[in-house]
Amino acid sequence: MDDKSLKVGSNEMELVDFRIFKQEDGSVYEGIYGVNVSKVREIIKIPHLTELPGTPDFIEGIFDLREVVIPVVNLAKWMGVVEPDNVRESSRVIITEFNNVLIGFVVHEAKRIRRISWGDIEPASFMNSSSGMDSSKITGVTKIENDNVLLILDLESVVQELGLYEPETDTEPDKIETFSGLAMVLDDSTTARKIVKDALQKMGFHVIEAMDGEEGLAKLDDLYETYGDELVDKLKIIISDVEMPKMDGFHFAAKVKDDERLKNLPIVFNSSISDHFSESRGEEAGGEAYLVKFQASSFYDEVSRVVKAHMKK
């Protein structure tokens, strides 16, 4: 699966629309969810699974997919949803890859591929504990037909919660090259922004934060009002996530590179999407590097390389 038909900078994404059914008070309710196609390897029927003793009940087990052992998480059980009796007939496993980790997720039905503008996706800030779903596990929401709402799951946070992936954040201080000046980080995840901000501060930068591409562009306008043409010397690097509500990282980069005032600012993408196609799209959008979240050693090395190349210009 891929989204090669998407034009870089179009501010669109493709989602796998899947469903989780819940039985409550004798009725069955349908939850509509989505995951970025860029993170989906394939969708298969539930294979024979080997159970793992001592693991939570929402970890269904493991199986071998072409000589790669893949853990499988039952999303309904993880959400605390009571499953209807007959859902296993239509259930599928969505095989995903992100942060260089392969993992399968059991869903009750894989419905279709949807193409959606990031501009139509809103942050999940309206959600609270009374909604039945932790908003930190939702990266965004969007309306679809019949006034239904599709929730985009933050599968990375699920995997981190399970202890299947932990970001690499430690590097020996004497191996970190230091600089001065400004750096900007764009990411809709508070946790991810903090990790990147802390790393940039260790490198000596004063960090400016933005939650998405729209806010990033607004802050670049403010910085240009302050520094004028000297901004290109003051702002040493921009670190941008790819998946963000309102305006994604590729569209943000395309806007920056099309702006005569800003086009020489270096941009590095920092994303959980770990397929080679996204790296190519990042280069096409004008990025100087594409990093997979969050591997400290490669982060420091690539940021240092890009900043030094920028300073020589």
Report if residue 40 sits inside a domain. Answer: yes
* Same domain? 142 vs 267: no
Is the separation of the CB atoms in 279 and 268 below 8 Å? no
Backbone angles phi, psi at 148, to 5 degrees: -75, 160
In a domain? residue 7:
no
d(CA 189, CA 211): 8
How many independent structural domains does the chain possess?
A: 2
pLDDT at 44: 96
Q: Residue 131: its pLDDT value, please?
A: 46
Could you tell me the two tokens for 282? 């990042």
Whether residues 24 and 153 share a domain: the answer is yes
Does residue 2 form part of some domain? no
| CA dihedral sign, ordered 184, 188, 193, 195 | negative
CATH number at residue 59: 2.40.50.180
Q: Within this chain, do residues 269 and 196 fall inside the same structural domain, yes or no?
A: yes
**Shared-domain flag, residues 183 and 269:** yes
Last residue of a domain, one of 138, 161, 184: 161
| Structural domain contains residue 168 | no
Q: Using an 8 Å Cβ cutoff, are 272 and 156 in contact?
A: yes
96 plus 217 within the same structural domain: no
pLDDT (0 to 100) of residue 6: 64
Q: Specify the pLDDT at position 2.
A: 53
105 within domain boundaries: yes
Predicted local distance difference test score (pLDDT) of residue 126:
54
Per-residue pLDDT 10s for the chain (313 aa) are 555 556 666 788 899 999 999 998 889 999 999 999 989 999 999 999 999 888 888 899 999 998 999 999 999 988 888 999 888 888 999 999 988 889 999 999 999 999 999 889 887 765 544 445 555 678 889 999 988 999 988 777 777 777 766 667 777 777 899 999 999 999 988 888 999 999 999 999 999 999 999 999 999 999 999 999 999 999 999 999 999 988 999 999 999 999 999 999 999 999 988 877 888 888 999 999 999 988 888 899 999 999 999 988 7
Do both 275 and 156 map to the same domain? no
Tell me, yes or no, whether 199 and 307 share the same domain: yes
Q: Do 69 and 148 fall into the same domain?
A: yes
Judgement on whether residues 202 and 260 belong to the same structural domain of the protein: yes
Tell me the residue type at 181.
Answer: G
Domain assignment present for residue 258? The answer is: yes
Q: Are residues 125 and 210 in the same domain?
A: no
Statement to judge: residues 34 and 142 lie in one domain: yes
CATH number, domain of 229, equals: 3.40.50.2300
The secondary structure of 49-79 as a DSSP string is -B--TTS-TTEEEEEEETTEEEEEEEHHHHH
| Last residue in a domain, options 103, 133, 161 | 161
pLDDT of residue 129: 44
Q: Are residues 104 and 198 in the same domain?
A: no
Boundaries of domain holding 148: 12-161
